[in-house]
Amino acid sequence: MDWRQHLRQEARTFVEPGPRLVDELECVLSVLLAIVFAHVLDVSNVSWAAFSGYMVMRGHVSQSLLRGVLRIIGTTLGAGLAVLLVPLVLPSLVAASLVGAAIGGVTLYGALTSRRAYAWLFVGLTFEMVLLDHLARPDLSVVDFAKTRVLEIIAGTVACVLVSMVSTLTVRRRWPAPPVPPASSLGWHPGAARHVAQAACALALLPWLGTLFGVADLAQSAVTIMVVMLVPVSSLGVASLWLVTQRVLHRAAGCIVGGIAAALILFAAHGNAPVLILATALGVMIGRHIENGRGPIAYSGTQFTLAILVTLVPDSYAAAAIDPGLHRLIGILVGSALMEPVLIAWHLLAPGKQTSTTRPATEESASE
């Protein structure tokens, strides 16, 4: 099947009744409800609540609830670690670098090998974001940042679970989602440890970039480093270099295309909130449809959606701007530019062997 046939097939299935369309509509409703809850809670970053409303959604309320609980637990633990450690380590750039690398590496290892991968991932992501944002803005209150981030996650998760519950009791009875294999744990895995050491090396460089060279938006760089390294353990070794590079390219491509689409919508909307909300819903549907295609560009669909959300879901529709989307893109490109040389150098100097261990099936999709 060539790309034109594939495109026509995807266009036909976009409005075809079935589990795929139900999932896409669930995501739209979850995102819109998350935006409402975020405004009610008066959080600092409404788009992050929308992120959660999108990313937590799964085909059955039990799966959505588990994923949401793990996201909340991981975020809360990561924020707690940041409140305790960030004020202690930031006076020293060396300490900030070492602690960021250590916590990022340990939590990424947990995300690769643990049954509760999603919680492990968010412990690390939240800590890195607080650390690097506070490094860029020393006047930022660590406690306030941690508090609003937890509230944003809760707003998105509650919205998602409510929508998922209604759907499970109604339309999902006719169009159930495909079964999800049970999760399992690997325990100690030398290949995974070697793999996360590469990510830790890249994470260790971020505080130096921010302080010595004035590079901003490094929180998204840390997120990029951690999530692009979240590949199947069965592929670790030589194959992981290509898989991570592929994820880097798809992440950047999805973000760029989503950012361009969002910029055009912003220009056409001229601050009209109903137009921006309608465009957000359509963008979520398109991005989720691409993600659900399970083809080689599925990960780009997730990034397309997140670019739409970060741009078209401002804290105030009167102040909608392209800046958040550009900042996220810059952070992704910086993280990618750091990760690739580290990967290449590591594989040239200390190549790992291909492992035959199967990665455990987890609740986590590695697609933030």
Amino acid at 39: H
* Other CB atoms within 10 A of residue 60 CB: 17
Cβ–Cβ under 8 Å, residues 106 and 78 = no
User: Could you tell me which of 358, 341, 124, 340 has the C-alpha nearest to residue 219?
Assistant: 124
Report pLDDT for 274.
94
* Phi, psi angles (nearest 5°) of residue 362: -125, 175
Tokens for 277? Answer: 């909300």
Q: Where are the alpha helices (DSSP H) in the chain?
A: 3-13, 19-41, 46-55, 61-89, 93-113, 117-136, 142-169, 190-212, 218-228, 238-269, 273-292, 298-312, 323-349
Q: How far is CA 43 from CA 34, 73, 123, 124, 146, in A?
A: 11, 18, 20, 21, 11
**pTM score:** 0.88
For the chain, residues with pLDDT lower than 70 are: 1-10, 237-239, 350-367
Residue tagged 């650390």 (tokens): 131
Burial label for 307, CB within 10 Å (0-12, 13-18, 19+), is: buried
Residue tagged 């679970």 (tokens): 161
